[in-house]
Amino acid sequence: MTQKNLKEYRAIILTRDLTQPGLPVTVMAATSPEAVMLLTKKYGNGNVFDVHNLRDASTFR
């Protein structure tokens, strides 16, 4: 089994109850889709995730 090159991804978990503030979380994953998958598994399908890592966040679009 090979070790994946993990990166730190930060996310904001927004529930369906928009009166509650977003919950900031951190997850370690190899890719952004993997980070979303891990967060979905933990926090459920009905939530919105703002997922990024620091390198992606500093890249011009």
Tens of pLDDT along 6-57? Answer: 999 999 888 777 788 888 999 999 998 999 899 999 988 877 678 888 777 6
Ramachandran category for residue 44: left, alpha or beta (phi over 0 → left; psi -120 to 50 → alpha): left
pLDDT at 34: 93
Query: Predicted confidence band at 1 (pLDDT cuts at 50, 70, 90)?
Result: very low
Task: Give this prediction's pTM.
Answer: 0.74
The Cα–Cα gap between 15 and 3 comes to 33
The Cα–Cα gap between 31 and 35 comes to 6
The Cα–Cα gap between 55 and 23 comes to 21
Taken in order 20, 26, 28, 30, is the CA torsion positive or negative? positive
Q: Name residue 56's amino acid.
A: D
pLDDT at 8: 92
pLDDT at 60: 65
